Copies of this chain bind each other. A is one copy, B any other.
Amino acid sequence: AIVAHLQNFLTPHRLAGRKVLITAGATREDIDPVRFISNRSSGKMGYAIANAAIAEGADVILISGNSNLPPPANAQLISVYSAQDMYEAVMFNIESADIFIAAAAVADYRPAQVAIQKLKKTAQAELHLPLERTTDILGEVAKLEKRPFTVGFAAETQNVANYAWEKLSRKKLNMIAANQVGKNQGFDMDENALLVLWEGGEQDLGYGLKQDLAVDLLDLVIKRFMLTKHTDKVTA
């Protein structure tokens, strides 16, 4: 306890007085009252970033989809179910945020109709499930006139760096953290490997524990955030 107290005392608290909004975990999109579409995200990366931001003295709001992780101490945890729920919770809190880090794995598509009753097995050997696009949370945040320093994630199974550069530019993000995912990597693991990109720069954070990568990523975020603030003032 004394060591933790000392560590806390020694940490620079570069985000004191700053509000950081973070999304984490997997959204679930109902097919019927029993079945849903989801993904392998465990929430570990987003929760680790929340803890790193708390250690830097930030006021943290963590908007979490499905995850079995314990809520971080000293953060406001908002639990949501679907991509639409997450979108609404983000928009409700975005105006006062200084930094927005979108680490959740949000469904891109959801069933076009949610059945009110459990779908019965039929004689049919095949079925077609019609899907529709969900609201693009990062896209909507990027459109805001007064928007926070915005960090996205790109989880891909191939061509990770290319997709990430394209997403950074298309969504006008301030920064993007790219990682390779698949059946046995990236999701639901304690380790990850991150490549961080921003306009004019990149840094490969390499492979490591998500809690260590979260600290390194947040360090980059803080440095770029401070610079943006400085630039804003200069150009104003």
Contacts and interface: CB of A to CB of B under 8 A. Distances in A.
Contact of A109 (B36, B112, B127, B131): B127
B126 A130 contact: yes
Nearest to A186: B34
Interface stretch (A9-17, A155-163, A215-223): A155-163
A37 interface: yes
Contacts of A127: 109, 130-132
A128 interface: yes
A131 B130 contact: no
A188 to B, nearest CB: 11
B38 A181 contact: no
Given A118-B181, A128-B129, A130-B126, A36 B38 contact: yes
Interface bracket on A:
35 or more
A105 B118 CA distance: 13
B133 A33 contact: no
Contact of A181 (B33, B112, B133, B183): B33
A40 interface: yes
Interface of A: 30-40, 68, 105, 107-109, 112, 116-118, 121, 124-133, 155-158, 181-183, 187
25 contacts: A30-B183, A31-B37, A33-B181, A33-B183, A34-B157, A34-B181, A35-B38, A35-B39, A36-B40, A37-B37, A38-B38, A68-B68, A109-B121, A112-B126, A118-B155, A118-B156, A118-B158, A118-B181, A124-B133, A125-B132, A126-B133, A127-B130, A128-B130, A129-B130, A129-B131
